[in-house]
Amino acid sequence: MKNADYLNRSSKAVWHPCTQMKQHERLPLIPISHGRGVWLYDFEDKRYLDAISSWWVNLFGHANPRINAALKDQLEKLEHVMLAGFTHAPVIELSERLARLAPGNLGHCFYGSDGASAIEIALKMSFHFWRNSGQPEKTGFVSVANGYHGETLGALSVTDVALFKDTYAPLLRQTYQTPSPDARLAEPGETAEAYALRCAEALAHYLEQHHASTAALIVEPLVQCAGGMAMHHPIYLKRARELCNQFSVHLIADEIAVGFGRTGTMFACEQAGIAPDFLCLSKGLTGGYLPLSAVMTSDTIYQAFYHDEVARGFLHSHSYTGNPLACRAALATLDIFAQDDVIAVNRIKAAQFTQAMQPLRDHPRVRHFRHLGMIWAFDIADTKPNFSQGFYQAALRRGLLLRPLGPTVYFMPPYVMEEEEMALLIQGTLACLEG
């Protein structure tokens, strides 16, 4: 079948996420037949360079041979078993390996299916910890302005993106948003570090007054991704950790988008030298293959639930918790990190790619060019209404998959991107800016 056949069938049968379906009357869907490395191919063999890792999940390219082989092997052994009352080798091995990799002493892994479910788990665990610990008044949550943590009701309550949140406001619990340390918001002459410390002082002022009723602070370490790839100085995380310690408030690190090497270290928290009370992981955890999320936490948290009373346990589950296939994909992903020394290789690549992007940095329409690890972003001046949609379409015509966040264009490619492919991406992006 050709592209048109799949377009017609998908438009009728599939309700696509984060999409106003009526727009597809004039902006056709892109049917994808197969993928190889950084490339996606439609049914007429037109290819698209996946510059955003298919919503930030794909680390080592589409149809990666090593992850494919691991999944084929697992299929012959065990596809699924419930994790209540049972266990299996992939989930044990994955939990042990994550514990060795994570900062601090986060030795307990609780599994979900996606990023939003990981946030729900962390919020519930924090609330329930304080209840089990004799402090049931600690029920409030603090998040960072312009942050994004998912679209289920609990996760949406700590999200601060109006497009996603406003419609459902009557369903959500009230939370407090503290100023974002986004370096773009610094005053003229103010450094990113100084501005981050100023934002941390606002957090300190809030916690001084409300710590007795606050369960946790949730933050996206170093990069607020959906909020326009807003990057901040690591001093904010360091100060936030100190404040959470001082006021007996949990720190939840949402590393769903920034974990697994995306910021230049395995986990973003490492760059501040801190460990959270809860570390939320997903997206790149399985290399982009299968839905899986994990919430890592400490023995202190775990022991508050360890009791003869069933009601004191953490009674949260879903049918596919710790699925063996997903865990095996995650193990294969971690194998690639170890075998290929990915973090070190990425640092070399990132330096080369950043140098190659000088023409983008110098473009008269580009503002706030920024880079961290394997993330690049810049804002476009003088954008017209519907800029992001128009840029997305212009990029597709040039064989590029890019989805701007408002006026922000960003690159978050798979780690297997090579210099020739990056050159194509840069040339195509420049053409879109001129078009």
What's the pLDDT at 18?
A: 87
pLDDT at position 243, please? 98
- Residue 81: predicted pLDDT: 97
Which one, of 17, 350, 329, 313, lies nearest residue 152 by Cα? Answer: 17
Letter string b/e over residues 209-233, b meaning 16 or more CB atoms within 10 A of that residue's CB: eebeebbbbbbbbbbbbbbbbbbbb
- The distance from CA 193 to its chain's CA centroid, rounded to whole angstroms, is 23
Give yes or no for residue 27 having a pLDDT over 90. no
Euclidean distance between CA atoms 213 and 216, whole angstroms: 10
User: Residue 226 pLDDT more than 70?
Assistant: yes
Under 8 Å between Cβ of 399 and 428: yes
The pTM score is 0.97
Contact present, 285 and 98 (Cβ < 8 Å): no
CA 286/CA 143 separation, integer angstroms: 27
Q: pLDDT digit string (tens) for 143-154?
A: 999 999 999 999
Residue 7 has pLDDT above 90, yes or no: no
pLDDT(1) > 70: no
Helix, strand, or coil (residue 43): coil
* φ, ψ dihedrals at 202, nearest 5°: -65, -40
Rounded average pLDDT over 257-266: 98
Count the alpha carbons within 13 Å of 108 in the hemisphere toward its beta carbon: 16
Q: Is 197 a residue whose pLDDT tops 90? A: yes
- Contacts of range 38-47, beta carbons closer than 8 Å, 24 or more positions apart: 38/62, 38/413, 38/414, 38/416, 38/417, 38/421, 40/401, 42/3, 43/1, 43/2, 43/3, 43/5, 43/6, 44/2, 44/3, 46/399, 47/399
pLDDT in the model for residue 383:
85
The pLDDT, as a whole number, for residue 21 is: 82
Write out pLDDT tens, residues 292-329: 999 999 999 999 999 999 999 999 999 999 999 999 99
pLDDT of 23 over the 90 cut = no
All domains of the chain in start order, with CATH: 31-63+341-434 (3.90.1150.10), 69-339 (3.40.640.10)
